[in-house]
Amino acid sequence: MKIFRMFARNVRDAFKSVFRNFSLSLASISCISVTLIIVAVALVASVNVKNFTKELERTVTINVFLEEDVTDEVIKDLDEKIKKLDNLASYYFQTKEEATKEFQSSSEILDGVVNSWKEGDTPLLNNFRIKVKDINYIDDTVKELRTFDGIKAIKYGEEWVGQMATAFGSVEKVTYGIVIALTIVTVFLIMNTIKLTIFSRKREISIMRLVGASNINIKMPFIIEGMVLGALGSIIPIFIITFGYLKFYHHFDGYLYFKVIQLVTPEPFMYYASAIVLVIGMLVGMIGSASAVKKYLKI
């Protein structure tokens, strides 16, 4: 019970300090809000880019067309080699007859085209349809496939797939970097605010030491104060995530320009993102406060 009473008192002191030093607290909360807004936007962007990459991996298929006179032995050998590909997610083999039926069922016009062919005289080829685990290594997978015998051509939209994968990867790295950099900046903002608060309360801290207050009792209100500042500073970014992203999603009907570039559905994503922003705000507040107290109080 004593621990709970001490904690409750520390929480009370922390809130008192926030309102007692309102101008400093307001400045700190404003700075935290600005940085967390950018963190939130970068977080949303990075998650969506990750989703774009996954969607690209799901939709892109490597079509491996075999030679016209390929034998069953060669097909079996290719099947075994494809199974051993490091970047393989899934694959299946399609005979030329199955390819013809699929082509025929695509539309009435194509059905008429197929019906004009002589029986058994199809220009389509036996093929393997391959999905990869990581789109960033699709070129390496294709290079390995080109070393196999019995293959006539490989098609996978190489003109745009590689460019999109590279672009998505670059954007993802940049957004992660922004989140990390701004989190560090927020820690320093909290540290500077707490330093000013500590300076204005030197006499109070000296009295606490004289009456025998332990180090933890002196430090805890400052740490909780940093957590409170971080939580208050995350309110506006959370509001932007919750309502801004929802409006953005519906404005673009859930995707950007192409169906493959699908946005992450708002629910439950915006709740997870809001919780992450809140946790980041509280953690950097606590870390910033703890660092300031340790360094400048020397307790």
35-54 pLDDT, tens digit each = 888 888 888 888 887 787 77
Rounded Cα distance, 216 and 157, in Å: 62
- Is the backbone peptide bond immediately before 123 cis, with ω within 30 degrees of 0? no
Tokens representing residue 269 in the block? 């994503």
At residue 119 the predicted structure's pLDDT band, cuts being 50, 70 and 90, is: low
Instruction: From residue 181, give the alpha-carbon distance in Å to each of 39, 91, 120, 266.
Output: 9, 41, 64, 26
- For 230-241, give the secondary structure using H, E and C: HHHHCHHHHHHH
Rounded Cα distance, 202 and 259, in Å: 61
Rounded Cα distance, 108 and 128, in Å: 26
- Is the backbone peptide bond immediately before 266 cis, with ω within 30 degrees of 0? no
Stretch among 85-99, 160-174, 238-252, 269-283 having the lowest mean pLDDT: 160-174
User: What is the residue type of 19?
Assistant: F
Residue that has been written with the tokens 């990075």 in this structure: 46
DSSP category for residue 131: E
Rounded Cα distance, 169 and 164, in Å: 8
- Percentage of the chain beyond pLDDT 70 is 77
Mean pLDDT of 61-72: 85
DSSP category for residue 241: I
Tokens representing residue 130 in the block? 């391959």
CB 162 within 8 A of CB 117: no
Secondary structure E strands in the chain? 62-66, 88-94, 127-132, 151-155
Rounded Cα distance, 216 and 35, in Å: 30
Residue 130 β-bridge partners? 62, 91
Helix (H, G, I), strand (E, B) or coil at 201: coil
| SS3 of the chain: helix, strand, coil, percent, to 5 | 70, 10, 20
User: What is the residue type of 212?
Assistant: G
User: What is the residue type of 189?
Assistant: L
pLDDT value, residue 281: 84
* Cβ count near 70 (within 10 Å): 17
Residue that has been written with the tokens 């892109």 in this structure: 60
Longest CA span, the chain: 103
Convert the pLDDT of each residue in 140-186 to its tens digit. 888 898 888 888 888 887 666 666 777 777 777 887 787 788 777 77
pLDDT value, residue 247: 86
Arithmetic mean of pLDDT over the chain = 77
pLDDT value, residue 118: 64
CB 87 within 8 A of CB 173: no
CA angle 16, 22, 27 (to 5 degrees): 135
pLDDT value, residue 142: 87
At residue 117 the predicted structure's pLDDT band, cuts being 50, 70 and 90, is: low
Report which of residues 142 and 194 the model is more confident about. Answer: 142
Rounded Cα distance, 179 and 188, in Å: 15
Tokens representing residue 97 in the block? 């007859």
* Cα first-last separation, the chain: 26
